[in-house]
Structure 1
Amino acid sequence: MSKADMGRRYRLYPTPEQHDRMAGWGHTCRALWNLALEQRRYLYRQRGITLMGSAQCKQLAQARADLDWIADLPSECGQRVVANLDAAFLNFWNPDHPAGFPARKKRGRHMSIPFKGQTLVVRKLNRHWAKVKLPKLGWVRFRLSRALGGTIRNAVVSRDGSGWHISFGVHTGRKPDAPNGKLACGVDFGVAASAFVSTETEPRRMPQTLKPNERKRLGHLEQRKARQLTYAKKHAGGKYSNRLRHTIAQIAKLKTRQANRRQDFTHKLTTDLAKNHGIVGIEDLRVKNMTKAAKGTMDAPGKNVAQKAGLNRGILDNAPGERRRQLAYKCRMYGSLLVAVPAFHTSQTCAACGKVDPDSREGCGRLFLCVHCGHEDDADHNASIEIEARARRTGGSVTNSTRSTTVRVPAARRRRTREALPATHG
């Protein structure tokens, strides 16, 4: 059977009864994941046995006969949870995969219910609405924001701060396009400038994911949550009140809105880059290392801990890892080539003469002024040209993409004057 090659996500609108039952199923799936994970860890530590999903599915069938809260969950959903855990371990054992050891799922986060595609029935109601028949739940309406465009292979019902969604894994049969032969480009991802493309004269800046009033409200809600948590620990034995749950729901709604805006910008950026270029060069960034927190405690405070935390938020808000993931499959889809080049010294290399010198970018500002040849440019644009050159050297032989036209972008700051510039570093 052909596998899913495309995803479709829609907003789901369950009835109050369906909402309550799906919420219970979500907690059941989370509990099954944690129990299956703990069972595998225990058997390996105590007896050296590597337990796989086939054996756990047999035990799951017995548990359904003994426990009502497991029996209420459709059998296929429990089997999919175990199969997903198998896939998580296989990724962990694969040395070429970046996945780490499977982690436990916390309550209230990543609530999802997996389904098999063979048991689902989808009917279109009109131009904007459709409904899906879920096992033990019946028909549930969802907003048909785009056509399915293929055969459903699997589905996942999930909940975030804005409500319920259903994601279909669809087999469309779409083949990758032939090499498009368009211009090559290099892209420098940053914080001040979200993305600077070597073929453009202006950076692409991501709009604020939260408006000023929303950011202010988020801070107020975080303070309220901290007060309510403190009260719950002191006077209610840690039990959450309805007010605290309402505060958490409001925070989750704002966070989801922020994530949706970030994802919208990311999809538009990566689609445009993949469609309109033959080679897309990016830096091979190690985001996990870049966003390590500065060490500091109350007793021994570190240096620039708050500044590093702000920089980490800026890096993660621009989602360089997600951009690379999207470019990987979109470049294959649209006939372009993604090349990740070493990030070493891209910001200190002159795009005109190719010499590396940290003095060419004093203070890591927005101005790049080569101390050897006098070339002046915006620092991020200069880096993007260097990224493009490295990408062409690495992947240019496998595509017929033509070289982009080098453009000069005036730096935002006033040019600094240096006397006898070439003679100083000759």
Structure 2
Amino acid sequence: MSQGSLVKRQFGRRARLALSPASAVKVDDQAPAARTLWNLLHAWWRMMPKERRTLTNADAAIRQARKDIDFLAVLPAQAAQAVLKTYFRAWKNCWDGRAAAPNFKGRFRTVMSVDIPQGRDLHVTRVHRRWGMVDIPKVGRVRFRWTKDLPVGRRADEENRITGARLVEDALGWHIAFRVQTLEATPAPHPGPEVGIDVGVTVPLALSDGTTYEHGEWLTDKEKATLLHLEQRAAQRKRHHKSGERTSRRLHHTYDRIAGLRAKAKRRALDWQHQTTTHIARTYGTVVVEALTITSMVKSAKGTIEEPGKNVAQKAGLNRSIHAEAWGRTVTLLAYKTARHGGTLVKAPAPGTSRRCSACGFTTPGSRESQAVFVCKNPDCGWSGNADHNRARNVLHLYRMGLALVPAAGRAVVRRAKRVKPTAAR
């Protein structure tokens, strides 16, 4: 929605909660209650005939269940209504072809969360430079880490306000994700230059102007040694675990520590991605990336019994490295950040970009001598340079030639870019 030169924007702000032991117990009770309510609702849906699967009947069933089952009463009524709305929205997404059909939520594979749909119930205040306070229904007043400014106090009005929140648990504890609505000025077109980006494993981001963005290991040597020790301990304890036997508390504790270290590495990787994509969005007006089909790139090379695959272990290691770099998340971050700064994100077709010479434009076999070096085999050229930067320049060249895929509403649609003189990208 837009109002003149202003545009309404909705986004999230996630912060870490500092729960007291008593508050943590209450939140730990609400999350399983929300999951159980979802499962009961799904069982009710499968049991009822089609003509009785209505929102009114489901609401009546939920109200009756919260009266009959004391365990569900710890969940606030508005959070229960949010579960109902989310469940019906999941079926609508399924019918529209946007998602698979909803199913039961398992105990261990489900992210524990509790929705707070009403923003007026939160009463968010800032009490310190680093801390804020928020009201959580049936929990009380809780501190949270203040990392981003929120529209509270005098800054809050009908157009700039917190519309709700969600409590989410991960391996590092409980967090609160605020839903924020603001009215901002429409960004002016970004005057920055165009740039092509090549994503990789050895060099995470290589730009067509010669810039590279690299990172080190996400865990320190001590943390990696601890993670290896915990994984070996978990494997040893699991070896003595009989099939069908209940998992011991020691093994669960080991799994929790492993998940904590992996979550810490993921948080550091996400922080690097946010800082890097923000700098790119502020610097460049048009960002061109490859239209990669990552799901096809990370398929297993195991093959079949009749035709077994080759180099299966090496391909599995490459797949893990691709997953660790999270190329899709990088493109997602670039998409909304370039739009916020008035820029444009464009996707160019990937085939052939690694074998084409960005200096003369010829594609000759064997030009990429190694993972890092490109040497043109054209006798009239002979150009050599970094293979990643060469591919990034080829990606930019495809955009300048008018071959581009511009993401729109989360999907890529073909759009012809403005044709310019077809010179080689340098």
Shorter-chain-normalised TM-score: which range? 0.7 to 0.9
**Could you tell me which residue of structure 2 aligns to residue 210 of structure 1?**
219
How far is 1:240 from its partner? 2.8
In 2, distance between residues paired with 1:78 and 1:190?
Answer: 44
SS of the equivalent of 2:184 reads coil
The 3 A distance-change label for structure 1 pair 86 and 384 is: farther
1:50-89 map, 5 Å: 51=53, 53=55, 55-89=57-91
Is the 1:181–1:399 contact (alpha carbons within 8 Å) kept by the matching residues of 2? no
Are 2:290 and 1:283 equivalent residues in the alignment? yes
In 2, distance between residues paired with 1:289 and 1:183?
Answer: 32
How far is 1:16 from its partner? 0.8
Is the 2:122–2:136 contact (alpha carbons within 8 Å) kept by the matching residues of 1? yes
In 2, distance between residues paired with 1:378 and 1:101?
Answer: 46
In 1, distance between residues paired with 2:317 and 2:34?
Answer: 35
Q: Which one-letter code corresponds to 1:231 in the other structure?
A: H
How far is 1:252 from its partner? 1.4
Is the 2:29–2:74 contact (alpha carbons within 8 Å) kept by the matching residues of 1? no
Are 2:340 and 1:333 equivalent residues in the alignment? yes
1:25-424 map, 5 Å: 25-40=30-45, 51=53, 53=55, 55-95=57-97, 97=98, 99-102=99-102, 104-108=104-108, 109-116=110-117, 117-149=119-151, 150-199=160-209, 201-233=210-242, 238-295=245-302, 302-362=309-369, 364-372=370-378, 373-392=381-400, 393=402, 394=404
Q: Which one-letter code corresponds to 1:84 in the other structure?
A: T
TM normalised by structure 1 equals 0.84
In 1, distance between residues paired with 2:84 and 2:423?
Answer: 49
The 3 A distance-change label for structure 1 pair 397 and 239 is: closer
**Could you tell me which residue of structure 1 aligns to residue 410 of structure 2?**
none
In 2, distance between residues paired with 1:38 and 1:186?
Answer: 50
Q: More strand by proportion, 1 or 2?
A: 2
How far is 1:218 from its partner? 1.4
Q: Which one-letter code corresponds to 2:290 in the other structure?
A: E
Q: More helix by proportion, 1 or 2?
A: 1
Is the 1:184–1:404 contact (alpha carbons within 8 Å) kept by the matching residues of 2? no
**Could you tell me which residue of structure 2 aligns to residue 419 of structure 1?**
none
How far is 1:294 from its partner? 2.5
In 1, distance between residues paired with 2:305 and 2:107?
Answer: 29
How far is 1:251 from its partner? 0.8
In 1, distance between residues paired with 2:239 and 2:305?
Answer: 19
**Could you tell me which residue of structure 2 aligns to residue 11 of structure 1?**
16
Q: Which one-letter code corresponds to 2:256 in the other structure?
A: A
Is the 1:350–1:382 contact (alpha carbons within 8 Å) kept by the matching residues of 2? yes
How far is 1:299 from its partner? 12
In 2, distance between residues paired with 1:333 and 1:163?
Answer: 31
In 2, distance between residues paired with 1:61 and 1:155?
Answer: 23
How far is 1:136 from its partner? 1.0
Unaligned runs of 5+ in 1: 408-426
Unaligned runs of 5+ in 2: 2-6, 152-159, 407-414
In 2, distance between residues paired with 1:42 and 1:285?
Answer: 42
SS of the equivalent of 1:359 reads coil
In 2, distance between residues paired with 1:357 and 1:131?
Answer: 63
- Give the % identical residues: 36
For residues 54-104 of structure 1, the C-alpha deviation after alignment (integer angstroms, 9 at most, x for no partner) is 542332112111111112211111221232233333334445x5x444454
In 2, distance between residues paired with 1:134 and 1:404?
Answer: 60
Q: Which one-letter code corresponds to 1:9 in the other structure?
A: R
